[in-house]
A and B are shown apart, each in its own frame.
Chain A
């Protein structure tokens, strides 16, 4: 039987590109819609903006969501333990819901459900992949995941939605970049 060629580095690059796409979309939307304020307005308000910011945000969410789904699939394909497998599945599902956030904007009934599902699945993915890193003796990267999950948990219980979204997404993006670097570094070492 032909062995599966390890293309995990290529898959992790999709994650880095996804983060870059979201940052660019966010910056473009914020520069176009001057009424939006960091930590005051929710990110979803970009989606129903009267300006072109809605296009940038909605398409940014869709493209980033698809790229995260691809990264999650890569995690599952080249998984070395149960934590990575479960984390990859949760990441792919979370990415799917992120893409749906760009489809079901704030003025639709499904938006809240889709946004909450995205947050819950991505949070669970961070914990599962941190457990996988711990089991695989990648303790530093596991620590980054644990710290990220802790910050998100505290923000969720103590902060309001606008603060949680704005800072939570920055924390999630930092974790995503760290995790992509983790895959690239350790794949080269193997």
Chain B
């Protein structure tokens, strides 16, 4: 049976944590105003992106290593731009960017690249 590298397990866990942190932030920083729907939509988009990243680390996942890395950077980009524009709370944004950077570091390891490219259909 194939042994899953520690980096991959941590990457997947961080993806889940990112998604959960995002949902919790949405509840914590909710303000009942007209633009609330837009803000909630952005929080949910980011949560979906993080959960998708977590899924990308699984065996027979949908993405190659390159696409996984690209999606991670895209998620970081969405978080930063949303925080700058005020849709996401800056503190929650900083935590999510940190989680994204940790996922990138995990993906940069050689073992993650080898495993991610081998464990695909």
Chain A residues packing against B (C-beta within 8 Å):
139-140, 143-144, 146-148, 150-151, 154-155, 158-159, 163, 167, 171
Question: Which residues 33-76 of B have a CB within 8 angstroms of A?
Answer: 66, 69-70, 72-74, 76
Tell me whether B84 and A167 are in contact (CB under 8 A). yes
Instruction: Please report the C-alpha to C-alpha distance between residue A155 and residue B81 in the assembled complex, in whole angstroms.
Output: 7
Shortest distance between the CB of A152 and any CB in chain B (Å): 9
**Is B108 an interface residue, CB under 8 A from the partner?**
yes
Across the interface, which residues of B come within 8 angstroms of A155, CB to CB?
81, 84-85
The A interface, classified by DSSP as helix, strand, loop or mixed, is helix
15 contacts between A and B (CB under 8 A): A139-B69, A140-B104, A143-B70, A143-B72, A144-B73, A146-B77, A147-B76, A148-B77, A150-B78, A151-B77, A151-B84, A154-B78, A155-B84, A159-B85, A163-B84
Known: A147-B74, A150-B74. 20 other contacts (CB 8 A): A140-B108, A143-B72, A143-B73, A146-B70, A146-B73, A146-B74, A146-B77, A147-B73, A147-B77, A148-B77, A150-B78, A151-B80, A151-B81, A154-B85, A155-B81, A155-B84, A155-B85, A159-B84, A159-B85, A167-B84
**Which B residues fall within an 8 A CB radius of A?**
66, 69-70, 72-74, 76-78, 80-81, 84-85, 104, 108
Q: Which residue of chain B is the closest to A150 with respect to CB atoms?
A: B77
Complex CA gap A148/B66 in Å reads 17
Measured between beta carbons, the chain A residues less than 8 angstroms from B77 are: 146-148, 150-151, 154
Closest residue on chain B to residue A140 by CB atoms: B108
Complex: chain A residue closest to B80, CB-CB: A151
By beta carbon, the residue of chain B nearest A148 is B77
Complex partner residue of B69 from A140, A148, A167, CB under 8 angstroms? A140
**Contact A158/B85 with A140-B108, A151-B77 known, Cβ cut-off 8 Å:** yes
Question: Is A150 a contact of B70 with CB atoms below 8 Å?
Answer: no
Q: Which residues of B contact A140 (CB under 8 A)?
A: 69, 104, 108
Asked if A139 and B66 sit within 8 Å, CB to CB, the answer is yes
**A35, B73: Cα distance in complex, Å:** 36
CB neighbours (8 Å) of A171 from chain B are 80
Please list the 9 inter-chain residue pairs (A to B) with the smallest Cβ-Cβ separation, ordered nearest first. Answer: A143-B73, A150-B77, A154-B81, A147-B77, A147-B73, A151-B81, A167-B84, A151-B77, A151-B80
Residues of A within 8 A of B81 (CB): 150-151, 154-155, 158
**Measured between C-beta atoms, what is the minimum distance from A154 to chain B in Å?**
4
The residues of A that contact B66 with a CB separation of less than 8 Å are 139
Which residues of A sit under 8 angstroms from B69, Cβ to Cβ? Answer: 139-140, 143
In this complex, what residue of A is CB-closest to B66? A139
Interface centre among A140, A144, A147, A148, by most chain B C-beta atoms within 10 angstroms, is A147
